[in-house]
Amino acid sequence: MATINVTRSSMPDFEEYCEEIRELWDSHWLTNMGIKHRTLEAELKKLLGCEYLTLFTNGHLALENILEAFDLHGEIITTPFTFASTTHAIVRCGCTPVFCDIDPATFTMDPGKIGALITDKTVAILPVHVYGNLCDVDAIDAIAKKHNLPVIYDAAHAFAVERDGVSAGAFGDAAMFSFHATKVFNTIEGGAVCVRNAEMLQRLCDLKNFGIHGPESTPYVGGNAKMNEFCAAMGLCNLRHLADEIEKRRLVAVRYDARLAGVPGLQINRVPDNVRFNYAYYPVVFDGYKYTRDEVYARLAEQDIIARKYFYPLTNAFECYQGLPGFDPKDTPVAAHVADRVLTLPMYADLPLEKVDQICDIILG
């Protein structure tokens, strides 16, 4: 019996990809903002409704480059209920994460708890649209404006998510998307940043290319975070099938919902009516259910079905941060509660609905 993993990367037909990369053999232009890079950027600007967008080698470096571009030094209010990357980016850029608790229904940062965390050292707010659930962007925006702080969204999960027709890329002062192989839209490895003006965009373009602005001008101490032509070509192919992929994911989610919604002790993800969702993940919180999260995980694993405990442990419980002030999951009790009980079930476009039924049978059995 084949193992069912939590996700499976979307790929175009082999021939479609070969056709896409054919011209690279003519041009011998493999990276450094070639034709594929520029074409993908143009397509994504349209799709994400963001005029100021640039590509990166991955989402994590995109995030680090945003923090550098905004020249942030101090405390950044963020969430521990996320992938390692969010917190590591803050620390690796020399800033201090200050952990805000989450809302138990959406798993995103609880705006009501931000105010108490603001000090004279606070330099930014970095929330995450976790599982593709949009943060309460209006409330966060209001707090940020009041304190004159930039808001940088980790939108790694929120590709193609819209609220009232407005893309996740349009909220805040900057938004980062990840195009990692496991995300809804992938470029194998890749990422993008949306910002709000040409000056910030230029700074990011320079930073991702060693801080070089022109042949004789290097204004920044930059690194290397450019997306290469082969990854951009993969993105151009995958983009053609995006709507199809998301629709298939939606059908998987509908099937899970039909089996799991309303079962006492199970909390499933709710998508507001005004949101166009991407069905990136299918999280379930097992709270007061006949099996614990870990029991469900083990029962699925027995049948070669690999769910993931996303996001457990919380990033403020990581051993690399042990003993550091401010890194304590007890400070974020809602996030700690969810992290102990949540499981993301297998979710990808080609997951057969019979498998979804099998997974639900195991959970409900």
Ligand X SMILES: *Cc1c(COP(=O)(O)O)cnc(C)c1O
Q: Which stretch binds ligand X (CB under 6 A): 58-66, 199-207, 210-218, 243-251?
A: 58-66
CB 49 within 8 A of CB 200: no
257 CB-near residues (< 8 Å, 6+ apart): 268
Using the minimum distance from each CB to ligand X, give the nearer residue, 34 or 59. Answer: 59
Q: What is the DSSP letter of 273?
A: T
Q: Using CA of residue 224, residue 167, residue 11, residue 297, what is the dihedral sign?
A: positive
For β-strands 152-154 and 174-178, DSSP reports them as parallel
Q: Which stretch binds ligand X (CB under 6 A): 44-52, 82-90, 202-210, 293-301?
A: 82-90
Using the minimum distance from each CB to ligand X, give the nearer residue, 172 or 191. Answer: 191
Taking the complex as a whole, the smallest distance from the CB of residue 82 to ligand X amounts, in Å, to 5
CB 231 within 8 A of CB 180: no
Q: Which residue is nearest to ligand X (CB)?
A: 59
Q: Which stretch binds ligand X (CB under 6 A): 36-44, 150-158, 235-243, 321-329?
A: 150-158
Which one among 7, 87, 167, 178 touches ligand X, defined by CB under 6 A? 178
Q: Does 172 participate in binding ligand X (rule CB under 6 A)?
A: no
Using the minimum distance from each CB to ligand X, give the nearer residue, 80 or 191. Answer: 191
Preceding omega of 107 cis (within 30 degrees of 0) = no
Q: Does 316 participate in binding ligand X (rule CB under 6 A)?
A: no
Using the minimum distance from each CB to ligand X, give the nearer residue, 58 or 267. Answer: 58
351 CB-near residues (< 8 Å, 6+ apart): 4, 8, 252
Name the helix (H) or strand (E) containing 267.
Answer: strand 266-268
CA distance to 115, 220, 345, 348, per residue, from 7 (Å): 37, 38, 9, 5
Which one among 36, 37, 60, 208 touches ligand X, defined by CB under 6 A? 60
Name the helix (H) or strand (E) containing 194.
Answer: strand 191-195
Q: How far is CA 130 from the centre of its chain?
A: 7
292 CB-near residues (< 8 Å, 6+ apart): 286, 341
Taking the complex as a whole, the smallest distance from the CB of residue 336 to ligand X amounts, in Å, to 18
| Cα separation, 7 vs 350, whole angstroms | 10
Which one among 78, 86, 167, 187 touches ligand X, defined by CB under 6 A? 86
Using the minimum distance from each CB to ligand X, give the nearer residue, 12 or 132. Answer: 132
Which one among 191, 283, 329, 346 touches ligand X, defined by CB under 6 A? 191
Within positions 249 to 288, which residues make up the interface with ligand X, using CB under 6 A?
none
| Cα separation, 163 vs 139, whole angstroms | 15
Which one among 78, 82, 87, 167 touches ligand X, defined by CB under 6 A? 82
Within positions 215 to 234, which residues make up the interface with ligand X, using CB under 6 A?
none
Taking the complex as a whole, the smallest distance from the CB of residue 135 to ligand X amounts, in Å, to 12
Q: Does 157 participate in binding ligand X (rule CB under 6 A)?
A: yes
Q: Does 246 participate in binding ligand X (rule CB under 6 A)?
A: no
CB 150 within 8 A of CB 129: no
Of 304, 252, 301, nearest in space to 281 by CA? 252
Contacts with ligand X: how many residues (CB under 6 A)?
Answer: 14
Burial class (CB in 10 A: 0-12, 13-18, 19+), 230: middle
Taking the complex as a whole, the smallest distance from the CB of residue 69 to ligand X amounts, in Å, to 17
Within positions 119 to 138, which residues make up the interface with ligand X, using CB under 6 A?
128
Q: Does 106 participate in binding ligand X (rule CB under 6 A)?
A: no
Taking the complex as a whole, the smallest distance from the CB of residue 148 to ligand X amounts, in Å, to 26
46 CB-near residues (< 8 Å, 6+ apart): none
Taking the complex as a whole, the smallest distance from the CB of residue 198 to ligand X amounts, in Å, to 25
Using the minimum distance from each CB to ligand X, give the nearer residue, 82 or 344. Answer: 82
Residues near ligand X, by CB under 6 A: 58-60, 82-83, 85-86, 128, 154, 156-157, 178, 180, 191
